[in-house]
């Protein structure tokens, strides 16, 4: 069977599975809609957390950006992995102890202020919509290639699927759907990685194949370094980013991870604090499978791609190039009219442009793997994008229904609150679809902005809310607003200033970055500003009530949460 047929079969079967699970596990109460009833097993929650965590950025774009950026791209690998460890060990048990469903819920109660809650809701919505834009873009890319529709149509189809199981099932439906999605995406990621590792190095373990030798006896990475330097690029294992920017991006991704609302809420879906810690451990193991494989997939993909296209006649290009050219995600411009594809570092002479987001998806075709493997990767990419999109949309709907409507109108019934949550999720799906059609960058870059916003807004108030009895509502509000406004302003200025403000591109170049920090890493500076402003304002205003200080003291002993105590 051809690629299109296999794709229809495998994507169709996976969609049928997700929809079936959503129908089976549809939410009947707000508790089921928000936290799946609080009765998910640690293993299932670990699988769901891993799927929620490994978005389109992890599955589709992370290996792609490492493939093209080499060492510089490793910031995503280090930041996201380190961030999950930070979240699981430092924050999750304490937040679970507090027993609130959402981050704005925590902020509102810990800082005894509805104003703080509203600011947190605004931050959560900003972060979630920025993040979900990348997921919907990933959905569109998968559909555009494998189902032969344009990217915009692909986004709309993805919206419909997410709408069905996110709005119907809430967290309960999403949780069990994500268990299935993890199984699909990890199988789809590992199978081609193993195939290609065997082809190039003879080693079935991609992690070991990365350091293996290719046919002529040379080490793969040495060979790749030589190929790229011959074309004028930096060596694959050598970075060009400054050390401070590498540190800033890694830090922003790490602490942004710890402030991501859709991941934090997962630790409320298990019965006990002990189960939250156990599910965090399971999730780390499941995440590590993909994250330790991604560098190998990156190196394999770029090595095979260059060898199959560079210096090849235009009339004899491999099928994978022609297939992806139809999507406009690969572009060839024979500038010197010699009929040969020139892939060079010099943008004036380069004739080949490859979208970073296609490397994982195109990898099986580049390596000439069986058609069913190509279809499997399409299903995996869909699973990764949809799983995270659903979690983010639930955060948005919960922020509206619980943190705004329910908080300011506590008399509404459970049924009314559930209806409002579903309407909010439906509206969020449509807005997310718009951002998917008009994304502000490639998938991993868009997601990096979301992490930067989370780092600059949520992380300081969460960490100080847990460990500082003196941090008060005035400090939290001032800190969140400072971090969020500064980070949004910096990103907007340097990424879109030339079009929004009519500025020349030269004024937005790297030499004008503050302290040499790129927009992707500025969240780390926003976080520092948040913390400084928060501490200063708190020291100049009254201390929190004694009851709040006693609560902070109790949270530091992560042994139980209300009736679900862990002895």
Give pLDDT tens digits for 357-415: 788 888 898 888 998 998 898 888 878 777 777 777 777 777 777 777 877 787 888 78
Give phi and psi for 409, each to the nearest 5: -140, 70
Residue 320 lies in a domain: yes
Residue 424 lies in a domain: yes
Count: domains in the chain? 1
Residue 521 lies in a domain: no
546 Cβ contact list (under 8 Å, min separation 6)? none
Confidence of residue 557 (pLDDT cuts 50, 70, 90): low
Beta bridge partners of 313: 340
Q: What is the pLDDT of residue 32?
A: 62
C-alpha distance from residue 47 to each of 132, 186, 385, 428, 481 (Å):
20, 11, 15, 25, 34
Confidence of residue 30 (pLDDT cuts 50, 70, 90): low
- Nearest-10 Cα torsion for 251, 255, 256, 258: 150
Q: What is the pLDDT of residue 345?
A: 83
Token digits of residue 190: 């590992």
Q: What is the pLDDT of residue 375?
A: 87
Residue 224 lies in a domain: yes
Beta bridge partners of 561: 564
Q: What is the pLDDT of residue 565?
A: 39
Q: What is the pLDDT of residue 190?
A: 94
pLDDT (tens digit, 9 = 90+) per residue, 428-437? 778 877 777 7
Cβ(80)–Cβ(65) below 8 Å: no
Mean pLDDT across the chain: 81
Residue 526 lies in a domain: no
Q: What is the pLDDT of residue 561?
A: 44
Q: How many contiguous H segments (helices) and E segments (strands) does the chain have?
A: 24, 4
d(CA 117, CA 522): 24
d(CA 156, CA 138): 12
d(CA 239, CA 234): 7
Residue 166 lies in a domain: yes
Confidence of residue 42 (pLDDT cuts 50, 70, 90): confident
Residue 459 lies in a domain: no
Give the largest CA-CA distance in the chain.
78
Confidence of residue 309 (pLDDT cuts 50, 70, 90): confident
Residue carrying the six token digits 């949520």: 458
3-class secondary structure, 211:
coil
Burial class (CB in 10 A: 0-12, 13-18, 19+), 242: middle
pTM above threshold 0.95: no
CATH number for position 273: 1.20.1730
117-121, 208-212, 301-305, 338-342: range with lowest mean pLDDT: 117-121
C-alpha distance from residue 315 to each of 210, 325, 338, 349, 365 (Å):
32, 14, 11, 20, 18
Token digits of residue 561: 């949460």
Range of the domain at 332: 3-444
Q: What is the pLDDT of residue 555?
A: 76
Confidence of residue 356 (pLDDT cuts 50, 70, 90): confident
Residue 111 lies in a domain: yes
3-class secondary structure, 231:
coil
pLDDT (tens digit, 9 = 90+) per residue, 469-499? 999 999 999 998 899 899 988 888 887 665 5
Q: What is the pLDDT of residue 525?
A: 94
pLDDT (tens digit, 9 = 90+) per residue, 155-208? 888 777 777 766 666 667 777 888 888 899 999 999 999 999 999 999 999 999
Token digits of residue 394: 């639930």
């Amino acid at each position: 069977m051809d690629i299109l047929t296999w794709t229809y079969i495998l994507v169709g079967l996976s969609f049928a599975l997700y929809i079936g699970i959503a129908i089976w596990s549809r939410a009947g109460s707000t508790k089921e809609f928000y936290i799946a009833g609080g009765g998910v097993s640690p293993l299932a929650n670990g699988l769901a957390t891993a799927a929620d965590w490994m978005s389109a950025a992890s599955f589709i774009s992370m290996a792609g950006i490492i493939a093209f950026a080499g060492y510089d791209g490793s910031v995503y690998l280090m930041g996201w992995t380190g961030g999950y460890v930070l979240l699981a060990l430092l924050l999750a048990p304490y937040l679970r102890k507090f027993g609130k469903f959402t981050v704005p819920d925590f902020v509102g109660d810990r800082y005894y202020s509805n104003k703080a809650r509203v600011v947190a809701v605004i931050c959560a919505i900003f972060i979630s919509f920025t993040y979900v834009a990348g997921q919907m873009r990933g959905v569109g890319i998968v559909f555009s290639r494998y189902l032969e529709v344009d990217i915009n149509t692909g986004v709309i189809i993805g919206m419909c699927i997410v709408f069905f199981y996110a709005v119907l099932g809430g967290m309960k439906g999403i949780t069990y759907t994500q268990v299935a999605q993890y199984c699909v995406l990890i199988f789809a990621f590992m199978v081609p990685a193993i195939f290609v590792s065997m082809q190039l190095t003879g080693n079935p373990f991609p992690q070991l194949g990365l350091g293996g030798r290719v046919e002529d006896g040379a080490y793969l990475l040495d060979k790749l370094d030589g190929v790229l330097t011959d074309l004028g690029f930096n060596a694959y294992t050598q970075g060009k980013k400054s050390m401070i920017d590498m540190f800033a991006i890694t830090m922003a991704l790490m602490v942004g991870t710890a402030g991501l609302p859709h991941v934090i809420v997962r630790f409320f879906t298990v019965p006990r604090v002990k189960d939250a810690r156990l599910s965090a451990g399971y999730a780390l193991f499941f995440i590590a499978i993909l994250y330790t494989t991604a560098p190998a997939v990156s190196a394999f993909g770029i090595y095979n791609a260059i060898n199959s296209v560079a210096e090849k006649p235009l009339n004899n290009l491999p099928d994978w190039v022609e297939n992806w050219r139809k999507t406009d995600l690969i572009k060839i411009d024979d500038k010197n009219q010699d009929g040969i594809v020139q892939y060079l570092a010099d943008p004036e002479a380069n004739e080949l442009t490859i979208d970073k987001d296609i490397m994982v998806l195109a990898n099986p075709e580049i390596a000439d793997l069986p058609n069913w493997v190509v279809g499997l990767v399409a299903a995996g990419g869909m699973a990764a994008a949809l799983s995270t999109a659903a979690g983010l949309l639930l955060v948005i709907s919960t922020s509206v229904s619980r943190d705004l409507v329910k908080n300011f109108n506590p008399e509404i019934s459970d049924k009314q609150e559930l209806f409002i949550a579903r309407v909010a999720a439906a509206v969020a799906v449509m807005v997310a679809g718009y951002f998917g059609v008009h994304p502000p960058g490639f998938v991993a870059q868009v997601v990096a902005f979301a992490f930067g916003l989370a780092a600059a807004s949520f992380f300081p108030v969460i960490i100080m809310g847990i460990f500082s009895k003196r941090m008060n509502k005035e400090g939290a509000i001032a800190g969140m607003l400072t971090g969020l406004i500064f980070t949004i302003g910096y990103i907007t200025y340097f990424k879109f200033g030339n079009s929004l403000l009519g500025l020349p591109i030269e004024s937005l170049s790297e030499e004008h970055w503050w302290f040499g920090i790129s927009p992707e890493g500025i969240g780390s500076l926003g976080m520092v500003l948040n913390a400084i402003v928060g501490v200063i304002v708190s020291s100049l205003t009254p201390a929190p009530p004694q009851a709040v200080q006693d609560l902070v003291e109790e949270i530091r002993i992560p042994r139980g949460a209300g009736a679900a105590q862990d002895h």
